[in-house]
């Protein structure tokens, strides 16, 4: 629903804007016509949230030897799904926390960093670092993981 409302706001702001055109190109991600009328999604899924829990479940069930390649692909996905930049503009104007170095609930396209999802992904990654899979190449450059912990510290509540 948020995307649909953003699209309407962009249309009111400027019906010929590039921002509106980008919304229109993705409209089928969140609005569609079904047999019983128009349908909408609030978000484009919960992929990051789910994959973090799936990895944690695999590791707690001690089936990492059986599913090693799947778990390695999950780690590669988690690294790829990390938000690498903040949305453009002044974040304080929009009352937004930073998104950079976080994980969203769904996909990186969402851009809304989630402290809960980020914490669960970090937990899954830390658990992965303890197993004997060949993860060394994934952990050679650890700054991306340190940056994600820094994100969590920026959204803490006192």
H or E stretch including 31? Answer: strand 31-34
Query: Closest Cα to residue 105, out of 90, 115, 91, 92?
Result: 115
Q: How far is it, in rounded angstroms, from Cα 104 to Cα 43? A: 10
Which of the residues 18, 109, 116, 150 is marked catalytic? 116
Give the CA angle between residues 77, 78, 82 to the nearest 5°.
115
CB atoms within 10 A of CB 99: 22
Query: 137: which 2 tokens?
Result: 């190449």
Known catalytic residue at 62: no
Burial of 120 (0-12, 13-18, 19+ CB in 10 A): buried
List residues with catalytic annotation: 116
């Amino acid at each position: 629903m948020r995307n649909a409302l953003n699209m309407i706001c962009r249309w009111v702001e400027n019906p010929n804007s590039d921002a509106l055109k980008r919304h229109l190109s993705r409209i089928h991600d969140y609005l569609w016509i079904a047999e019983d009328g128009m349908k909408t999604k609030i978000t484009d899924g919960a992929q990051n949230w789910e994959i973090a829990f799936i990895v944690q479940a695999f590791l707690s069930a001690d089936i990492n030897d059986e599913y090693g390649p799947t778990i390695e692909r999950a780690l590669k996905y988690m690294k790829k799904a990390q938000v690498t930049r903040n949305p453009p503009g002044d974040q304080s104007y929009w009352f937004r926390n930073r998104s950079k170095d976080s994980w969203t609930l769904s996909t990186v396209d969402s851009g809304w960093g989630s402290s809960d999802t980020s914490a669960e992904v970090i937990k899954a990654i830390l658990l992965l670092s303890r197993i004997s899979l060949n993860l060394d190449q994934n952990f050679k450059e650890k700054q991306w993981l340190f940056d994600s912990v820094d994100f969590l510290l920026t959204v803490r509540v006192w």
